[in-house]
Structure 1
Amino acid sequence: MNAHRPMRIALLALFLVATTARAQRAAHAPAQRVGSPQPYTIGVIETLHSTILGEDRILNIHLPPGYAADTVANYPVIFLLDGSAEEDFVHVVGGLQFASYPWIQWVPPSIVVGIANVDRRRDLTFPTTIAADKEKYPTTGGSVAFQQFLAHELVPFITSNYRAGGPHTLIGQSLGGLLATEVLFRMPYLFQHYLIVSPSLWWDGGTVFDLPHDAWMAPDIGVASVYVAVGQEGPGMVKPANRLAALLRKESQARIGYRYYTDMDHANILHRAVMDYFQWRSGK
């Protein structure tokens, strides 16, 4: 027997132990960053000067996947009231991303234009005759000017600077739902689809229903669908929403949808309503 064999075996064992230990330490070494962190963006920010409103307006704009690569394709546009980054823009874009997946196809890939607020009470309400509301909300009453901004500045800007070739959708909640209803009555041709969520139709004692609204009854006006949604928000919100849906079903030739959510309220209804609207609109 070789007298050095036990020594060689011992050295080999030590070598294997040391090698294994080094390998284990290497396997558990802290991960190393490659390059520097990069921003993850879901859109671009445009600043548009409005002559009608006499101020600059911020637009948050989401472009669908492949927009830059395909320079020919045109896309539908979703115009979102309360569209600031800290308001509804991010989660509506997320909902759209899911709804437009190839294996879902509730809606086609679309451009989203989030209209950031400056003074939402001013822009989204018409003048009120109720003294208490005038005193509590002194800047209200500018919705007609805001609608002129939409019709003559915002929509033309988007169609001129982006490949906006499909139907236009307007989404509004609360006072935004009030404004969307007013647009539907005053200039329904501006959008082809309307999602009206928890609309504040109680404003000025419900006089929005007194506005002339025979324009959207014409078969050639171009309104394809209107979807009204409301949750557990009290009779002051629910009854006018019911009334609006009934009026639309009676007098409009557009496809009309209505949903009353027994498990949603004013604070949490929007995300659910948007997703349900996308699915309803697809007919799936």
Structure 2
Amino acid sequence: MQRIPILLIPLLFLLVRLQAQKAAPLSIGETHTFRSEILRENRTVNIYLPKEYDPAADKHYPVIYLLDGAMDEDFVHIAGLTQFLTMIDTLPPSILVGIANVDRKRDFTFPSAIRELTQKYPTTGGAANFIAFLSQELQPFVKKHYKVNDTSTLIGQSLGGLLATAILLKQPDMFLNYVIISPSLWWDEGALMTMAPFLISQRNIRAHVFIAVGDEGAEMQDAASNLATVLQDARQKELYTNFLYMPKETHRTILHNSVYKALQVLHVKRKP
């Protein structure tokens, strides 16, 4: 009979125990891929649900739409913020919808006649279709499959901030809250900002807007500040604007900390 050294017995017990245990998958949400007839392609969205979410219950939740929302983009860390701010009772339990990109330069920009832009970014100019996708396909999809209320937020950075600004100015009723971070308002030689005062004057905007920019160069900093000023100067009763300059942040680092601030300001205890 072959003897097992006494020092190996604990190791054998550990190996048996480890083999008996099966690792459980770690999940922070759900993923859906569906066909967009407007964009003529499949689109993927990632969904974070509050811990208390029960599809059979009557409770409905605020919904946050995140541009650049793929798993390898900004979905995971913004889902973490959503969970944390809910845990400390700063943010109401909320549903996060991360919109994964296919071609962000196409989807987040409007057509431009500037040759340098069209040569550098040949697929640009599809924002109108993407906005139609958001309003006519994605928002109805979310409302059909999840219990959401009328408190909706859009988060966009850089070109995503450009798109969020365009929606705010042209179709503001699509969302109640707008988080606009380091918007690329330089696009098309600042055409959107040139039109902004006129666009605002054409409608009563009911929205809460949070704009942030970091140490990102005079062009981007001035444009973000000017956007805040134009919105504030409109003096519309239901248009509220917060502007935050974050000098310690860069274009690469600003999103997480600015969204942390924004969700505190825009969502805390506010009814739809």
Partner secondary structure for residue 130 of structure 2: helix
Give yes or no for the alignment of 1:250 onto 2:237.
Answer: no
Q: Give, in whole Å, the separation in 2 of the partners of 1:214 and 1:67.
A: 37
C-alpha contact (below 8 Å) 1:78/1:113 kept by paired residues: yes
Give yes or no for the alignment of 1:108 onto 2:92.
Answer: yes
Q: Give, in whole Å, the separation in 1 of the partners of 2:201 and 2:41.
A: 31
Following superposition of structure 1 onto structure 2, how do residues 268-279 of structure 1 map, counting pairs within 5 Å?
Answer: 268-279=253-264
Give yes or no for the alignment of 1:240 onto 2:213.
Answer: no
* Cα-to-partner distance string for 1:77-134 (whole Å, 9 max, x where unaligned): 0000000000000000000111111xx2221111111000000000000011221111
Q: Give, in whole Å, the separation in 2 of the partners of 1:222 and 1:180.
A: 15
Q: Give, in whole Å, the separation in 2 of the partners of 1:58 and 1:278.
A: 24
Q: Give, in whole Å, the separation in 2 of the partners of 1:216 and 1:177.
A: 22
Q: Which amino acid aligns with 2:27?
A: T
C-alpha contact (below 8 Å) 1:174/1:200 kept by paired residues: yes
C-alpha contact (below 8 Å) 2:91/2:268 kept by paired residues: no
Aligned residue in 2 for 1:45? 31
* TM-score of the superposed pair, with normalisation by structure 2: 0.89
Q: Give, in whole Å, the separation in 2 of the partners of 1:47 and 1:134.
A: 30
- Distance change in 2, residues 1:56/1:69 (3 Å): closer
Q: Once the 2 structures are TM-superposed, how far is the Cα of residue 27 of structure 1 from its aligned partner?
A: 10
Following superposition of structure 1 onto structure 2, how do residues 153-232 of structure 1 map, counting pairs within 5 Å?
Answer: 153-211=137-195, 212-214=198-200, 218=204, 221-223=205-207, 225-232=208-215
Q: Give, in whole Å, the separation in 2 of the partners of 1:40 and 1:215.
A: 49
Aligned residue in 1 for 2:247? 262
- Distance change in 2, residues 1:231/1:30 (3 Å): same
Aligned residues: 259
Aligned residue in 2 for 1:74? 60
Q: Once the 2 structures are TM-superposed, how far is the Cα of residue 210 of structure 1 from its aligned partner?
A: 3.2
Identity %: 43
Q: Which amino acid aligns with 2:102?
A: V
* TM-score of the superposed pair, with normalisation by structure 1: 0.85
Aligned residue in 2 for 1:15? none
Give yes or no for the alignment of 1:92 onto 2:56.
Answer: no
Partner secondary structure for residue 213 of structure 1: helix
Aligned residue in 2 for 1:3? none
* Cα-to-partner distance string for 1:198-241 (whole Å, 9 max, x where unaligned): 100000110012334226851xx432x10000000001110100
C-alpha contact (below 8 Å) 1:185/1:215 kept by paired residues: no
* Cα-to-partner distance string for 1:157-200 (whole Å, 9 max, x where unaligned): 11111111140000000000000000001100000000000100
Aligned residue in 2 for 1:124? 108
C-alpha contact (below 8 Å) 2:30/2:47 kept by paired residues: yes
Partner secondary structure for residue 129 of structure 1: coil
- Distance change in 2, residues 1:216/1:89 (3 Å): farther
Partner secondary structure for residue 100 of structure 1: helix
C-alpha contact (below 8 Å) 1:74/1:166 kept by paired residues: no
Q: Once the 2 structures are TM-superposed, how far is the Cα of residue 258 of structure 1 from its aligned partner?
A: 0.6
Larger Rg: 1
Q: Once the 2 structures are TM-superposed, how far is the Cα of residue 28 of structure 1 from its aligned partner?
A: 11
Q: Which amino acid aligns with 1:77?
A: V
Q: Give, in whole Å, the separation in 1 of the partners of 2:84 and 2:138.
A: 27
Q: Give, in whole Å, the separation in 2 of the partners of 1:45 and 1:197.
A: 25
C-alpha contact (below 8 Å) 1:184/1:216 kept by paired residues: no
C-alpha contact (below 8 Å) 1:47/1:57 kept by paired residues: yes
Q: CA RMSD in A?
A: 2.3
